[in-house]
């Protein structure tokens, strides 16, 4: 939209700044004359009554979208915060959004995921049975704390990364932005719960490694949203989801079981959005073949780095100790880790396949753990 030059501001004699239009309106109000144009404006949604499909759930975004202004446009012409479906001035400012095409941000499950995220928020203070946490043998406490330190370190990348891109997404796609806000909150809570676990049972925070930070930096500074989203939602959070799923084995008490169970619920949403976003991106990209080739190059580079990233004594050994129920059982634990490797690889390839991104025949992730 072309921008009209702003009218020069004036004061009404009290130092308060008004535009000429505002000054005129003040004069009219003083004479008891109201504008009331808002009563005469076109009313595109007058008479719309969104119906609850399920009264037990309440009035959802899907209900609203079903009733009115459901599907966003592929390429909205304006870059405004005025809500989709509203009537707005022609000279609204350009907000400077960089992501103005639906395929750049959308996923077909994002509306449902937002509703689920709101319905399943939990409190790391109140909803974890902290009083069930009892002293553990030193090796198990250290192992839990090393994993809790790693998770405290990495969780907030999935707040920082969406927050970095959020303001650049056109508000026409408000559902995506709202979902990413829930993700940022989820990850804040994950940081909180693992930090609390590390500090609640005598172990404390442990070691952070350069390699982990390098991976986080790659995500944070990815040059485009889709590249960072693939690295984070599809690859990184997918691996974290597999760690959470192993929570039944990792947990030594009800406290830890509940931490992993609740985090797993949240993480599954993030992975699900990222997978379906990749699918939407690839299906709707105007230069699909080029986009596909670029994503394969990115995936190949990332996959080549996975074995080195995961073959890390501060990751696999505490996991093996937890799985083997102590240092004495570390060999048994490593057997379990090798099985987890196969499952992680399989689930990553399945996620890619679900997105229509076939990595199975070309993946660089070794079939078996390299240890
Ligand atoms: Fe998380
Ligand atoms: Fe996440």
Query: Which ligand places an atom closest to the C-alpha of 158?
Result: 2
- Tell me: pLDDT of 2 over 50: no
Q: What is the pLDDT of residues 104-152, one digit of tens each?
A: 999 999 999 999 999 999 999 999 999 999 999 999 999 999 999 999 9
Lowest mean pLDDT among 202-211, 241-250, 307-316: 241-250
pLDDT at 46: 82
pLDDT band of 364, cuts 50, 70, 90: very high
Rounded distance between C-alpha atoms, residue 93 and residue 253, angstroms: 55
> How much distance in Å is there from the Cα of 356 to the middle of ligand 1?
25
pLDDT at 41: 83
> How much distance in Å is there from the Cα of 178 to the middle of ligand 1?
17
> How much distance in Å is there from the Cα of 157 to the middle of ligand 2?
9
**93: which residues sit within 8 A by CB, 6+ positions away?**
3, 80
Rounded distance between C-alpha atoms, residue 110 and residue 45, angstroms: 23
Q: What percent of the chain has pLDDT over 90?
A: 85
- Tell me: pLDDT of 187 over 60: yes
Question: 345 with 367: CB under 8 angstroms?
Answer: yes
* Total residues found in the chain within this entry: 371
Is the overall model pTM greater than 0.85, yes or no?
yes
> How much distance in Å is there from the Cα of 98 to the middle of ligand 1?
26
β-strand partners of 99: 169
- Tell me: pLDDT of 336 over 60: yes
- CA 126 to centroid of chain Cα atoms: 23
* Coil, helix or strand at residue 255: helix
> How much distance in Å is there from the Cα of 270 to the middle of ligand 2?
5
pLDDT band of 1, cuts 50, 70, 90: very low
Q: What is the pLDDT of residues 41-59, one digit of tens each?
A: 877 778 889 999 999 999 9
Question: 110 with 285: CB under 8 angstroms?
Answer: no
> How much distance in Å is there from the Cα of 183 to the middle of ligand 2?
7
> How much distance in Å is there from the Cα of 1 to the middle of ligand 1?
39
Q: What is the pLDDT of residues 15-44, one digit of tens each?
A: 788 999 999 999 999 999 999 998 988 777
Mean confidence (pLDDT) of the chain: 93
> How much distance in Å is there from the Cα of 324 to the middle of ligand 1?
25
Strand positions, DSSP E, the chain: 10-11, 17-18
């Amino acid at each position: 939209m072309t921008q009209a030059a702003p009218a020069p501001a004036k004061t009404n004699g009290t130092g308060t700044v008004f535009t000429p239009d505002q000054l005129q309106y003040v004069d009219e109000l003083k004479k008891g004359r109201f504008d009331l144009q808002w009563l005469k404006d076109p009313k595109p949604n007058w008479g719309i009554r969104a119906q609850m499909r399920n009264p037990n759930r309440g009035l959802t975004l899907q209900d609203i979208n079903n009733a009115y202004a459901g599907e966003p446009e592929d390429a909205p012409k304006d870059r405004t915060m005025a809500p989709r479906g509203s009537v707005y001035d022609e000279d609204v400012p350009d907000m400077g959004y960089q992501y103005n095409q639906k395929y750049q941000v959308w996923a077909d499950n994002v509306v449902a995921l937002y509703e689920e995220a709101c319905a399943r928020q939990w409190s790391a203070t109140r909803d974890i049975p902290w009083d069930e946490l009892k002293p553990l043998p030193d090796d198990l406490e250290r192992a839990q704390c090393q994993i809790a330190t790693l998770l405290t370190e990495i969780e907030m990348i999935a707040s920082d990364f969406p927050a970095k891109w959020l303001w650049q997404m056109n508000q026409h796609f408000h559902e995506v932005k709202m979902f990413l806000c829930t993700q940022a909150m989820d990850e804040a809570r994950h940081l909180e719960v693992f930090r609390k676990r590390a500090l609640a049972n005598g172990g404390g925070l442990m070691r952070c490694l350069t390699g982990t930070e390098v991976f986080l930096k790659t995500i944070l500074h990815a040059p485009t949203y889709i590249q960072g989203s693939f690295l984070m939602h599809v690859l990184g959070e997918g691996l974290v989801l597999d760690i959470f799923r192993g929570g039944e084995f990792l947990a030594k008490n009800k406290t830890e079981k509940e931490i992993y169970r609740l985090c797993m619920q949240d993480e599954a949403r993030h992975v699900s959005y990222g997978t379906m976003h990749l699918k939407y991106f690839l299906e709707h990209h105007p230069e699909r073949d080029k986009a596909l080739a670029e994503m394969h190059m990115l995936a190949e580079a990332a996959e080549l780095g996975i074995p080195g990233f995961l073959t890390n004594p501060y990751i696999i050994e505490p996991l093996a100790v937890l799985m083997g129920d102590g240092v004495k059982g570390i060999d048994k634990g490593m057997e379990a880790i090798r099985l987890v490797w196969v499952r992680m690889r399989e689930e990553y390839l399945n996620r890619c396949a679900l997105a229509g991104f076939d990595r199975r025949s070309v993946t660089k992730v070794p079939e078996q753990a390299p240890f």
